Amino acid sequence: MLTGAGISAESGIKTFRDADGLWEDHRIEDVATYDAWVRNSDLVMEFYNQRRKQLYEVIPNAAHYALVKLESKFDVYIITQNVDDLHERAGSKNILHLHGELKKARSTVDPNLVYPIEGWELKKGNLCQKGSQLRPHIVWFGEPVPAIIDATSLAQEADILLVIGTSMLVYPAAGLINYVHDRAPKYYIDPKATPMNYVRNLKVLNETAGKAVPSLVEELLNNNL
Ligand code: OAD
């Protein structure tokens, strides 16, 4: 399973590329790059504080919950590009966050030091145990994606792939589909699915996640596919 911003859209979280190239009124390079952090850490910290605050106001939707049901019959592994925790709150067990997690902070001197954020606010002066400022635990543009190694192994082992609510434009995440076996059935649920004619055994469902995921899950559980 590979999920993106579209699966959380019906919970009320905006996607990245659906709104004029701006993300919550900001240019991506002003808030989601390491350079932005160096130039203006206050702005970047506040931007993610607002995203985190919003997370406390939204709840999982029918698509998140349907994926939990799938676990009654399948070993389900969710690779998500989302930094929200809606898969966790719905109850899914195996979740790999490729691009980090909003509710965590990490050290600016040692990337292995990761901490939960209490409440919604990360502040100047919140330090890691080595004394450096904490930053949002987010993979910014241009930064390495350490979880891609485990994600690639999962993709290679998959018997079925569901791709839900992602423009499939951001790499290395989008490249994961190429590691899934040609024979494995693949479903791509997105009202504006990006064409991927090079992928074998791909069925595209141009529908919203809230509508299409629950019915696809029922069909998979009932073996109708
Ligand atoms: P995008 O904003 O690029 O794409 C969201 C996709 O969701 C689009 O293809 C929409 O058509 C689709 N969509 C919108 N509403 C939907 C709904 N109700 N049901 C299903 N699909 C819907 O978001 P991502 O592909 O997740 O990275 O973006 C990938 C990465 O780029 C993000 O993780 C983020 C971003 O910049 C970082 O922040 C590092």
Q: What is the CATH number of the domain that holds 111?
A: 3.40.50.1220
More confident residue, 26 or 94: 94
- Among this protein's residues, is 99 annotated catalytic? yes
pTM of the model: 0.96
Tell me how far the alpha carbon of residue 210 lies from the centroid of ligand 1, in angstroms.
14
Q: Which domain holds residue 13?
A: 2-223
pLDDT(175) > 90: yes
Model pLDDT, residue 14: 87
Model pLDDT, residue 21: 58
pLDDT in tens, 116-167: 999 999 999 999 999 999 999 999 999 999 999 999 999 999 999 999 999 9
Give me the number of domains the chain comprises.
1
9 lines ligand 1 (CB under 6 A): yes
pLDDT in tens, 57-80: 999 999 999 999 999 999 999 999
Tell me how far the alpha carbon of residue 16 lies from the centroid of ligand 1, in angstroms.
6
Q: At what angle do helices 62-69 and 209-221 cross, to 10 degrees?
A: 10
202-205 β-sheet, strand order = 95-97, 78-80, 2-3, 161-164, 186-189, 202-205
